[in-house]
Structures are given as C-alpha cells and as structure tokens.
Amino acid sequence: MVATNARSVTVFGGTGFLGQRIVRRLRYRGFPIRVASRHPDRGRRLFGSDGPQLQSVQTNIHDEQSVADATAGVYGVVNAVSLYVENGRETFHSVHVKSAQRVAVQAHRAGVERFVHVSGIGADPASQSQYIRKRGEGELAVRAAFADALLIRPAVMFGPDDAFLTTILKLLRQFPIYPIFGRGLTKLQPAYVEDVAEAIGQVMQNAETPSMIFEFGGPRVYSYEELLRAIARQAGLAPLLIPIPFAVWHALAWTSEMFPSPLLTRNQVDLMQIDTVSSPEMPGFTELGISPHSVEAILQRMLSNCG
C-alpha cells in the first residue's frame, strides 16, 4: 500500500463501472473512503463491510441535504456519476448539470480541498448532441461552483463487464452479418477503465497538481470499422460488416424509444457520428507517467479468463 495521511475522500457513483475502480485505487493509496451511491448494499458487496477505512452511504444526488451529508468532513470528492440513457427524472440535464453543480456547491461549502469531476472527451456546451452539450454545461456549472475543480475527460471506456467492448463482442458472435453505423468512419480512442481510475488516484494524491482538464484516450485511434475488425480478429471471428446510413439508424432508434427500455436511442446514434479522440494539446496519461493498455491486450485477457 502507498502510504498517505488519513484524509478521507467521498466518491459519488462509487459502485459504478468507473467508480468502483476509483475506490480501489484510492484505498490502495491509503485514503479512507466514503462510497456515496443510491445502493449502499451494493457497495458493501463490492468492498466488504463498513469500517474505519471504507463506509458505504446511501446518497441521492438530486437531494441537497443528502449530498451535503456525504461531503461533510472529507478532504476530497470525486464525482463519477454518469448517465447514458435518460429515464424519468434521470435526465442528462438533471444528472450531468444540476446534480454535478449540487455536488460541487456542497463540496465547496464543506471546505473540501480536492474536487475531481469526471466528464467526457468532446464535452461542449455548444454541441448538437444533447449528451455532449449537457456534459459541457456540467463542466461550466462545476467550475462556477468550485473554481479549482479538476476535470477528467475519458474517451469511451472498456474493461471486464463493460457496456461497450463486451456488448460488441456478444453481438459479433451472434450476427455473422453485422450492421455498422454509417460507413464506419467515426474515430474512437477507447481507454482502459483501470488506467483512467489509476490516473484519478494519482491526481487525488498529488495535491500539487493544479486545476486543469485531463483528457484520457487509449494508445490507438480507430475508425469504428477498424475497431470492430480488431475485436473480431481477437475473438477469431470474420463477420461481414454492412454499412447502414445514419438516417436508417435514427428511424430505428425513434421506433425503439417507444418502448419502456429502448435497445437504441437517437442520442446514441448521434454520438456514433462524433469523433471522440483526445486532444494533443491537453494533458493526459503521458503527463502522469501512465502507459495506457490497448484494446487488443485487455480483450485477449478477457477472452482467456472466459475459458
């Protein structure tokens, strides 16, 4: 374990795909952790029973008092709450803007010294994509409430039990003829979730790191078609990739959204038309001394573990 002092950190969304990795990296560094989530029982299943070094607390990010209780008396806060499909009151605006602002405001009022907000590459309040626009608005709201906040922008993240690589692999295995978004030219730079968590652990520990924006992308930029072929090759598959115009995908998504749990949304189709590549002008893994893992290396490990 890396020695540090007993300054505790609250991780909002600490039971999520990225959040649980952040919790583990911070624990390794010796930080006492408060895991703030809607389902504290899940936190106890993931990390063990509550104790002096880790406590799972029920927190509603839409409620000011609940957020205030979770931020009280801690040194640092990480907001790793995210939303990819809107559902009822859980909207991109309510989660990525209003709740992000609420966490930042309460962290500032509580005298928190270190605030890390997880956003995403491409976050832009002027974007035509509602998801990306709300991510951008959320960054502005956080910085307005907590001027020294560090902003973390990962590319699409992958790893065991993800909703990205695992889903693509499952579909490639099921469908030898595979429809792709447009002509498959959209650029992606997938980042390994453990690398992103390690970066956040370093940023939290290194108090001298100034307020800045980090963008974390993996070691290779793929076109969407190249990524599909790389995944298929690792799995020993040879699918026939069929380009489908985005207009058709939009129509399918519009129909899908009529159902309670849509398999595809128009927002997801919009995102597949936008490149998500880290900017060479922004600090990233290199500045933190992290060598990011490739999709191929992690996928090979995942396939080996599956048997």
Residue 261 lies in a domain: no
Sign of CA dihedral 285, 220, 171, 268: positive
Model pTM score: 0.93
Q: Which domain holds residue 141?
A: 9-157+191-217+279-291
Amino acid at 56: S
Residue 250 lies in a domain: no
158 pLDDT above the threshold of 70: yes
CATH of the domain at 26: 3.40.50.720
Local structure of residue 94 (DSSP, 8 states): I
Higher pLDDT, 137 or 163: 137
Whole-number mean pLDDT of the chain? 92
Residue 199 lies in a domain: yes
Report helix, strand or coil for 303.
Answer: helix
Asked if 203 and 277 touch (Cβ cutoff 8 Å), the reply is no
What pLDDT is recorded for position 257? 86
Residue 183 lies in a domain: no
Distance from C-alpha of 135 to C-alpha of 302, rounded to nearest angstrom: 30
Residue 106 lies in a domain: yes
Residue 257 lies in a domain: no
**pLDDT band at 6; cut points 50, 70, 90:** low
How many domains in the chain?
1
Amino acid at 25: R
Per-residue pLDDT tens over the stretch 181-238: 999 999 999 999 999 999 999 999 988 888 899 999 999 999 999 999 999 999 999 9
Question: Average pLDDT for residues 9-29, to the nearest whole number?
Answer: 96
* Dihedral class, residue 113 (left if φ above 0, else alpha if ψ from -120 to 50, else beta): alpha
Residue 52 lies in a domain: yes
Per-residue pLDDT tens over the stretch 229-285: 999 999 999 999 999 999 999 999 999 888 877 878 888 888 899 999 999 999 999
**pLDDT band at 82; cut points 50, 70, 90:** very high
Residue 263 lies in a domain: no
